[in-house]
Amino acid sequence: MKSIFGTDGVRGIVNEELTPKLALDLCMSLGTFLSGGTVAIGRDTRISGEMFKNAAISGLLATGCKVVDVGIAPTPAIHYYVRDATDAGIIITASHNPREYNGLKFVAGDGIGFSREAERKVEQIYAEKKFRHVEWDETGALSTDDVIQRYKDGIKKLVNVEKIRKMNFKVVVDTGCGAGGVVTPSLLRELGCTVITLNAQLDGTFPKRPPEPTGEVLGDLIALVQRSGADLGVAHDGDADRVVFVDEHGSFVNEDVLLAICAKDALQERKGVIVTPVSSSLCVKDVVEQCGGELVWTPIGSIHVARKMMELGAVFGGEGNGGLIFPKHQYCRDGAMAVAKILEMLCEKKMSQLVDEIPRYYNVKDKVKVLDKEGVMEKVLGVVKGNVDITDGVKIWHDDGWVLIRASGTEPIIRIYAESKSEERANELAQDGIKLIEQVS
Ligand code: MG
């Protein structure tokens, strides 16, 4: 059976791949899997969010689950609520994907995304359509709750609020018309910042920029940071689990560098384990070694990182895409928590200084179209030599860098990631990876 779950839940183009019927059946499957209990449901700002939410609620109620509708909220605010208050959660979001997409993501009762095993069980029920239909007087009840203030209060407990407030930072925040608009601007004000908002209106057409906050689409934010003389620029993806920053000069902060900055900060507070996917930069490895920590690599995907962090009692973890996990708060990517943490660091140093302290590397990403990606990957594994890591795909370590060859989860392509101290060498390593694929196909 082909999996309907991708790396981060079920995603698709609205009313083509992802229909209300699919949402209904999937949530009946979830309700059957849970056989009762309470499920929180929330969403980002996408136009189809209300449609999918209502289908999902119907499916859950029919199986006897109670449902708490928490409205529009950032993904991490819903995780936080689920961990403390319900048996599971559903988030209607397509995160950073383009406007025409939406998706459903399941959260387990411990506040972490569903494991692959749990997803497979739900999928099995979905395929067999053996749903739990409760008696007429046992269908679930629907209530509402507010998750926003609870989430912000949780964040403020973990940073030095008084110290941050005294700094009177000026911050420009671009929530991209996504769910971050209901949390980050007001959190910043509560932390004593002068806040300039950009795209803070909730609008699922994402009229000003795509939901993915890459450096290329943040021109307005960069210009406003420069013009206003702000200390920091902040931008979220559509569901605000990810965050990226712009320094006080208006330079976009590379996401791998951001990951290293946060790892360093965590290790300076307490020595321990840092967890990150095999695709992350060597700058993270360098920083962890400098600070006397231990680095653990995982497969790509934030759920792998979160579950490994919990298992090892890690002090910090995250991905090189602005997905940062602070275990004292919770085990999921936590955009607004990262904002508060960075402000705390800015009490000591400017953003550009924090960036300058991290070693620089060059990264190259490429891809090759292949029909039989699994077959090709198997052959690649058969011919590679040297220091090889197979945590996820095939990663070949060299003295001066690495190349990772990995099949895409959703498309008929193989991705190549390479990194080195020089741009030329990084390109060379990526070319080696491409040649290897061509050689075996
Ligand atoms: Mg996201």
CATH numeric code, 362-440: 3.30.310.50
Residue 417 Cα to ligand 1 middle (Å): 21
Query: Could you tell me the pTM of the whole model?
Result: 0.95
Distance from residue 64's CA to the centre of ligand 1 (Å): 30
Taking the alpha carbons of 96, 97, 103, 106 in that order, is the dihedral positive or negative? negative
SS3 241: coil
DSSP string, 114-125: PPHHHHHHHHHH
Can 95 be counted among the known catalytic residues? yes
Q: Residue 138's closest CA among 37, 65, 89?
A: 65
Measured distance CA(274)–CA(263) in Å, rounded: 7
**CATH superfamily assigned to domain 10-147:** Alpha-D-Glucose-1,6-Bisphosphate, subunit A, domain 3 (3.40.120.10)
CA of 132 to the centre of ligand 1 (A): 31
Question: What pLDDT does residue 1 have?
Answer: 54
CATH topology of domain 161-246: Alpha-D-Glucose-1,6-Bisphosphate; Chain A, domain 3 (3.40.120)
Tell me the domain boundaries of the chain.
10-147, 161-246, 255-356, 362-440
| Cβ–Cβ under 8 Å, residues 339 and 172 | no
382's tokens: 């058969």
Domains 255-356 and 362-440 share a fold: no
The rounded distance, in Å, linking the Cα atoms of 311 and 306 is 9
Measured between alpha carbons, how far is 302 from 289 in angstroms, rounded to an integer?
23
Dist CA 346 CA 349 (whole Å): 5
Q: What is the DSSP letter of 313?
A: T
Report the C-alpha gap between 187 and 322 in whole angstroms.
19
Q: Per-residue pLDDT tens, the chain, 441 aa: give them.
A: 568 888 788 999 999 999 999 999 999 999 999 999 999 999 999 999 999 999 999 999 999 999 999 999 999 999 999 999 999 999 999 999 999 999 999 999 999 999 889 999 999 999 999 999 999 999 999 999 999 999 999 999 999 999 999 999 999 999 999 999 999 999 999 999 999 999 999 999 999 999 999 999 999 999 999 999 999 999 999 999 999 999 999 999 999 999 999 999 999 999 999 999 999 999 999 999 999 999 999 999 999 999 999 999 999 999 999 999 999 999 999 999 999 999 999 999 999 999 999 999 999 999 999 989 999 999 999 999 899 999 999 999 999 999 999 998 777 899 999 999 999 999 999 999 999 999 998
The tokens of 400 are what? Answer: 């001066």
Rg (CA), the chain: 22
User: 255-356: what CATH class?
Assistant: alpha beta
Helices 255-269 and 335-346 pack at an angle, to 10 degrees, of 70
- Measured in Å, residue 335 CA sits from the centre of ligand 1 at 9
CA of 238 to the centre of ligand 1 (A): 6
What local confidence, expressed as pLDDT, does residue 2 receive? 67
CA–centroid distance, 52 to ligand 1, in Å, is: 18
State the number of CA atoms in the 13 A half-sphere of 300 facing the CB: 20
User: For position 441, what pLDDT does the model report?
Assistant: 86
219 alpha carbon – ligand 1 mean position (Å):
20
Among 29, 48, 58, 95, the one annotated catalytic: 95
